[in-house]
Amino acid sequence: MVSDPYLGKYTTCVSARSTDKEILQKAQDGGIATTLMVYALEQGIIDGAIVAGKGDRPWQPRPFIAMSREDILKARGTKYNISPQISLLKEATRSFGLDKVGITGVCCQMQAVRKAQLYPVNMRDVPGKIALAVGLFCMENFPYKSMQCIVEDHAGQSLHSVKKMEIGKGKYWIYTERGNVVTLPLKVTHKYEQPGCHVCLDYVSNLGDISTGSVGSPDGWSTVFVRTKVGNDVWSKAVASGMFETKPIEGVKPGLELVTKLAKEKIDKNRATVEGRKTFGVNKALRDPYA
Amino acid sequence: MSKVVEISPTTRHEGHSKLTLKVNDQGIIERGDWLSITPVRGVEKLAIGKTMDQVPKIASRVCGICPIAHCLAGIEAMEASVGCEIPTDAKLLRVILHAANRLHSIALHNILILPDFYIPGTETKINPFTKEQPVRSVAARIIRIREIGQSIGMIAGGEAVHPSNPRVGGMYRNVSPRARQKMYDLAREGLVLAREQMEFMIAVIRNMQNREFTDVAGKKIPIPKTLGYHSQGVMATSPMYGSSSLDEKPTWDIARWKETRPWDWYMGEVTIDLEDPSYPVGGTTKVGTKANPQMEACTGVPTMDGQPVEVGPRARLATFKHFDEKGTFAQHVARQLEYPDCLYSILKCLDALDTSGKVLADPIPQGDGSLGWAANEAPRGTDVHLARVKDGRVLWYEMLVPTTWNLPTCSRGLTGAPWQIAEMVVRAYDPCVSCATHMIVVDQENRLVAQKLI
């Protein structure tokens, strides 16, 4: 078990890619989260998964409970705004009748899942039913209106026409169906981030069973941290059955160095925000979420 | 010369209550008063001005054993007031939820009453917490039946205890096909266990009924053949679910109901002059203590045609299934006979349930202030809620809960029993006292407060 102040605890870290061509077609990077959930569902490790599906408006995610491969595939790709995954966590064990729930989500959502397990207030009978939690790397998130502003006002594209969005190499990338590619420097998008993200001290979903994200691996591949016994069990079986191709993280560029660098950047910056809030205002402070 | 003995508090049931008993020289009760001493909840006053969606959820918090009955009765009283018909699938989900609640409640009651009974053929009273067989496997079966009841309730109702899924106009969500199958599997498993449990309990109850004596604190107490007999009537609205003023043929008649005060039903001030320090647990009230049931009782006394009535499993079976036994043991037997009924109801509803069906009425009327009532057959009897809703807000709300009906009736049933087994008579009603408490009668000096207003 490796314990890193910025990358959390993990047993294994690899660079990986799904071997499923259909998943890769629309996956954000290596298709790790989708493939893991499909594998877990097909093997009976989970009965269903809470994933971010399509909402009412273009590129607006809405959590739903996927109980088949087709449903899980509908959730491929990153949508850069908020999908309230935890809102369905209890319902999954109720009217959906799931005994083994899989859940995907970003860092703060993994924290919420673990908190629900540790202090199951209003979460009766939920803790033991969470069978697999796959966390995603997350630098920050945007409210829907912010993303609309970025795409429509700054990039001048219509949200309907967007095929893929991506944050990488210091830029916000927007690809449209007709082939337009717009890049925006991140300093333009910073002001649109939701303020809650600025006190988050987690970059690589330290509390997931498995966490994954593009940073650290080459294009089309993802970096995967296996963190728990449950995660290790699922991951090793999935790799053994040929669901993933893997490379040692030490052998790929840019590798763990970049992940650590970005994690450090986020966490140090946000720690400063948390500190700054203590003396914000006159004779009063903003709430410290970690107090 | 009669003496007064008081058992306070009574034990092994929900809530706080006490027994003030006038007994003769042989210790046989001449007049018994069983009264609630649970602090008032005040739900009916809290309800005024709240939205019709909030009130049933608040009402369900009155207790933790049959909150489902209160929630459903509350919701249906609102629906009856506003005149809202709900979709069939929503009704089916409610019946499933209701039956699941009754199932787990009966199992819980088994645990509470078993220490009064003997293992058939022995002189050993049952301790449901012992590790020894056969009691150990009975306890395990009871726990599993409760788990099954609560799991089914959790799926159909959103929560095992205070259900979140029911709402005015139907239900928030229908269940998935997988959830329906899960409930079906649980009910099938439950049916086998419930049948075994029913047979075990009936054997234990009949064994007790045939005994001449029972042991209380080392003394041999005779068991009269007429234990718990009373000559009050019975009231039930349905064998399983209930009725409301929206029904084509409502089975409860509001015109026959009249609420009276404990003042009219309970005895006045008495001084305790009989004491038994060996009575479990901790002895009876000390000699010289004063008791005043008229003042201390904090329930109303609802009557039908001017008389208190019995509600509960025996009342249901007597009304709808020609069950003709009376008394404490008949009540116990009737309750066990409801075990399979609950599961058959669940299975029947699951067969009829369309998981893609609509479960919410559209539109939901907001009400014009007319009176609506709904009676729900809670595990321990008829739970009637009455409401007036205008423009979505509750103008008036009243809960006539099962134990409120049973308190004065059971008081009559105590006559003729040795006082040492009076608690057995009480327990046969499966009392749930906290919800029965719904008004404040006395002030700090024990004076009746504003008698005319309450």
**A157 and A210 together in one domain:** no
What's the mean pLDDT in B270-287? 92
In this predicted structure, what is the pLDDT of residue B438?
54
First-to-final CA distance of chain A: 28
In this predicted structure, what is the pLDDT of residue B444?
55
What's the mean pLDDT in A189-199? 93
Residues of B in contact with A94 (CB under 8 A): 154-155, 158-159, 165, 179
Q: Which of A126-140, B166-180, B376-390, B421-435 has the lowest mean pLDDT?
A: B421-435
For B323-355, the three-class secondary structure string (H helix, E strand, C coil) is CCCCHHHHHHHHHHHHHHHHHHHHHHHHHHCCC
**A118 and A21 together in one domain:** yes
CA distance B156 to chain A (A): 6
**A27 and A169 together in one domain:** no
Interacting residues of B349 by C-beta distance below 8 A, sequence separation 6+:
B92, B93, B95, B96, B99
**A102 and A39 together in one domain:** yes
State the count of interchain CB pairs (< 8 A) between A and B.
45
What's the mean pLDDT in A35-41? 96
Q: How many domains does chain A have?
A: 2
Is the pLDDT at B1 greater than 80? The verdict is: no
Does A8 fall in a domain? yes
Chain-chain contact of B178 with A94 (C-beta, under 8 angstroms): no
In this predicted structure, what is the pLDDT of residue B453?
34
What's the mean pLDDT in A126-135? 96
Nearest CA in chain A to B161: A124
Q: Give the mean pLDDT of chain A.
A: 93
In this predicted structure, what is the pLDDT of residue B336?
97
Pick from A240, A220, A242: nearest CA to A232: A240
Does A159 fall in a domain? yes
Name the B residues in 176-215 with CB < 8 Å from any A CB: 176, 178-183
**Residue B188: phi, psi to the nearest 5?**
-65, -45
Answer yes or no: CATH 1.10.645.10 is held by domain B3-436: yes
Pick from B319, B293, B286: nearest CA to B414: B293
Q: Which of A262-266, A280-284, B34-38, B149-153 has the lowest mean pLDDT?
A: A280-284
In this predicted structure, what is the pLDDT of residue B451?
42
In this predicted structure, what is the pLDDT of residue A286?
81
What's the mean pLDDT in A66-84? 91
d(CA B235, CA A2): 69
Residues of B in contact with A125 (CB under 8 A): 151, 154, 160
Chain-chain contact of A95 with B178 (C-beta, under 8 angstroms): no
Chain-chain contact of A94 with B155 (C-beta, under 8 angstroms): yes
**A167 and A185 together in one domain:** yes
In this predicted structure, what is the pLDDT of residue A26?
85
Is the pLDDT at B266 greater than 60? The verdict is: yes
**A127 and A147 together in one domain:** no
What's the mean pLDDT in A98-122? 95
Sign of CA dihedral A39, A40, A42, A47: negative
d(CA B269, CA B291): 6
Is the pLDDT at B445 greater than 80? The verdict is: no
- H or E segment and range at residue B410: helix B402-413
**A203 and A96 together in one domain:** yes
User: Is B225 in CB contact (< 8 Å) with chain A?
Assistant: no
User: Is A124 in CB contact (< 8 Å) with chain B?
Assistant: yes
What's the mean pLDDT in B329-333? 97
Containing domain of residue A206, as a range?
2-141+198-278
**A66 and A180 together in one domain:** no
Interval A228-264: pLDDT, tens: 999 999 999 999 999 999 999 999 989 999 999 999 9
Cis-peptide, bond into residue A234, ω within 30° of zero:
no
Which residue has better confidence, A57 or B298? A57
In this predicted structure, what is the pLDDT of residue B256?
94
Residues of A in contact with B357 (CB under 8 A): none
Is the pLDDT at B435 greater than 80? The verdict is: no
**Are A88 and A132 contacting, i.e. CB atoms less than 8 angstroms apart?**
no
Of B161, B165, B181, the CB nearest to A95: B165
ipTM, two decimals? 0.87
Residues of B in contact with A92 (CB under 8 A): none
Instruction: Kindly give the pairing relationship between strand A130-136 and strand A210-213.
Output: parallel
| CATH assignment of the domain containing A165 | 3.10.450.750
Q: Which of A163-172, B78-87, B192-201, B344-353 has the lowest mean pLDDT?
A: A163-172
Residues of A in contact with B180 (CB under 8 A): 97
**A267 and A171 together in one domain:** no
**A188 and A272 together in one domain:** no
User: Is B261 in CB contact (< 8 Å) with chain A?
Assistant: no
Q: Which of A24-28, B332-336, B339-343 has the lowest mean pLDDT?
A: A24-28
How large a percentage of chain B has pLDDT more than 90? 82
**A110 and A253 together in one domain:** yes
Per-residue pLDDT band for B443 (boundaries 50, 70, 90) equals: low
Per-residue pLDDT band for A28 (boundaries 50, 70, 90) equals: confident
Is the pLDDT at B449 greater than 60? The verdict is: no
Nearest CA in chain A to B150: A125
d(CA A166, CA A152): 16
Nearest CA in chain B to A124: B159
In this predicted structure, what is the pLDDT of residue B437?
62
Interval B108-135: pLDDT, tens: 999 999 999 999 999 999 999 999 988 9
B242 bridge partner residues: B376
In this predicted structure, what is the pLDDT of residue B384?
95
CA distance A92 to chain B (A): 10
Residue of B178, B185, B353, B360 to mutate, testing the A interface (most A Cβ within 10 Å of its Cβ) = B178
**A184 and A265 together in one domain:** no
* Residue count of chain B: 454
Residue of A89, A95, A99 to mutate, testing the B interface (most B Cβ within 10 Å of its Cβ) = A95
Chain-chain contact of A96 with B176 (C-beta, under 8 angstroms): yes
What's the mean pLDDT in A131-143? 95
Q: Give the mean pLDDT of chain B.
A: 92
What's the mean pLDDT in A147-174? 92
**Are B270 and B346 contacting, i.e. CB atoms less than 8 angstroms apart?**
no
Does A20 fall in a domain? yes
